[in-house]
Structure 1
Amino acid sequence: MDLDARSLGNKVDALLEERFHEVSIDTVPEAGDRRLTHGGTGLAGEFTFLYVDMRSSSALSWAYRRQSVAKLYKAFHHCMVEAVKAGNGRVRSFDGDRVLGIFAGASRADQAVDTALHMVGCKEEILVPKIQAKYQNDSFDIGIGIATGPALAMKAGVGYDMNNRDLVWIGDPPNLGSKLSDLAREPESIYICRTTFDLLGISNRYTTKSGEKIDMWEKKALSFNDGQVECYSSAWYRKLIR
């Protein structure tokens, strides 16, 4: 391995000294957005971040052949990506058993929560029954975390190498959304931050059961950034179209 300390040091000096420029946006940027370069540019806006994780993936890896686990991952990814697309979001990252969807615009929080409720519907009505039928395993689960707020998108990696570059997201909301997804599991499969909750419309706040109006959310707290933040969990889901 040959790493040139002088070359690396010069590049780091240049990166740390360059003037950074932010451009305000109101849509989710594409990885190929020409406004983003590997220099000092970033796209800033208000976004809602949705992280969905497949639970017990390590246990699945031990229990099944890797080809079977690969099929489970592909089935999970397909359903989650289709849900994000149907909710007018944009998928911006895959990390094994995790998918990141991002939403922008005035309805971003409602769209993300509606997507999450349908994701749990995908789990309950499609993934779990089919996985149980094929593998006789009922341990499949997902957890979803959603957070809303300002964030900065920038390119990271090596500019000339398509295999070593990607968008990264800077700010509290993506970090908080990730933390919330860690908490979520059956039966409370969805956790959202207070900002997301405050932006929700009636249809994503309440449901009706036996003619009675029911709040779908339960107030909780999460340790985050050396403090406690208010969050909300839900055990509800939306049925899929038949």
Structure 2
Amino acid sequence: MGLKDELTTFCHDVFHSKWETTEGRKVPDEDSKLTLKNTAITIEGTVLYADLDGSTAMVDGYKNWFAAEIYKTYLYCCARIIAAQDGVVTAYDGDRVMAVFIGDSKNTNAVKAALKIKWAVDQIIMPKLKARGYANCNFDLKHVTGIDTCSLFVAKTGARGANDLVWVGRAANYAAKLTSMPSSYTYITASVYNKLADEAKFTNGKSMWETVKWDKFNNDTIYRSSWHWSFV
């Protein structure tokens, strides 16, 4: 079969085959029983995107090994914090990480992870960077985290030997778009905020969040926080 015939057959099968869906009880990964045919897993999940801001300027303005050290320390801290909050890293995309949280506390856990990532940047990564004593280095690590929640439809895409999972649903899209907002904040949708435990909303009776309009996208009301969550 030639390449044209193979692609034609594949597209025909996708558009004409019925979907077989199962309800997920854990975050799907590449080892899940998903195929390149029309199989999918549905799951109620909260999606977190943590993204470095200004990475293009960093790559253009600093040595390649310096940029690599920033990527490595930031993404490692993100991944470990996400896991500690019962989240699962589902993808790395250059200078950002995507994670999914499930369960009754998924929104609170995701928000705690975001606020802990901010603490790690301010209290671990940057102090260690400055302690290294790089000459004439005025680098300031800026980052943004976005979080949304919804029902996710997870399918396998790509080709045999080169495939990945696609997370279909508003949350994956919105969480990613929120990272284009001004840096140094954690941004969450109203769907996430309304399901947060009070411990992730208030500190000593003071709100950690302020409402803003998402004027760069759909003008919805969203919430942002400049607070962090310390840990030892």
Q: Residues 98 and 123 of structure 1: is their aligned pair in 2 closer, same or farther, counting only changes over 3 Å?
A: same
Partner secondary structure for residue 114 of structure 1: helix
CA distance in 2, matches of 1:5, 1:26: 39
1:91-134 CA distances to partner (integer Å, 9 max, x unpaired)? 00000101011100110000000111100000110112222343
Q: Which residue is equivalent to 2:197?
A: 201
CA distance in 2, matches of 1:201, 1:132: 36
Does 56-65 or 108-117 show the bigger shift?
56-65
Does 137-146 or 48-57 show the bigger shift?
137-146
TM-score by length of 1: 0.89
How far is the alpha carbon of 1:224 from its aligned partner? 7.7
CA distance in 2, matches of 1:105, 1:170: 19
1:103 aligns with 2:101: yes
Runs of 4+, deviation exceeding 4 Å? none
CA distance in 2, matches of 1:207, 1:132: 30
1:12-64 CA distances to partner (integer Å, 9 max, x unpaired)? 11111111122112321122112x11111100111000000011111111122
Please give the residue correspondences for 1:206-225 in structure 2 after superposition, counting only pairs within 5 Å: 206-208=202-204, 213-223=205-215
CA distance in 2, matches of 1:28, 1:229: 28
Preserved CA contact (<8 Å) 1:144 1:184: no
Give me the CA root mean square deviation: 1.6
CA distance in 2, matches of 1:132, 1:152: 43
Please give the residue correspondences for 1:170-189 in structure 2 after superposition, counting only pairs within 5 Å: 170-186=168-184, 189=185
Match of 1:228 among 211, 219, 225: 219
CA distance in 1, matches of 2:195, 2:224: 15
Does 11-20 or 95-104 show the bigger shift?
11-20
Structure 1 unaligned regions, length at least 5? none
Q: Which residue is equivalent to 2:8?
A: 9
Q: Which residue is equivalent to 2:25?
A: 26
Q: Which residue is equivalent to 1:131?
A: 129
CA distance in 2, matches of 1:112, 1:218: 18
TM-score by length of 2: 0.93
- In the alignment of these two chains, the number of paired residues is 228
CA distance in 2, matches of 1:70, 1:224: 31
Structure 2 unaligned regions, length at least 5? none
Amino acid across the alignment from 2:221:
E
CA distance in 1, matches of 2:127, 2:54: 17
1:191 aligns with 2:184: no
CA distance in 1, matches of 2:138, 2:40: 45
CA distance in 2, matches of 1:106, 1:184: 30
How far is the alpha carbon of 1:169 from its aligned partner? 0.3
Amino acid across the alignment from 1:157:
G
Match of 1:44 among 35, 42, 58: 42
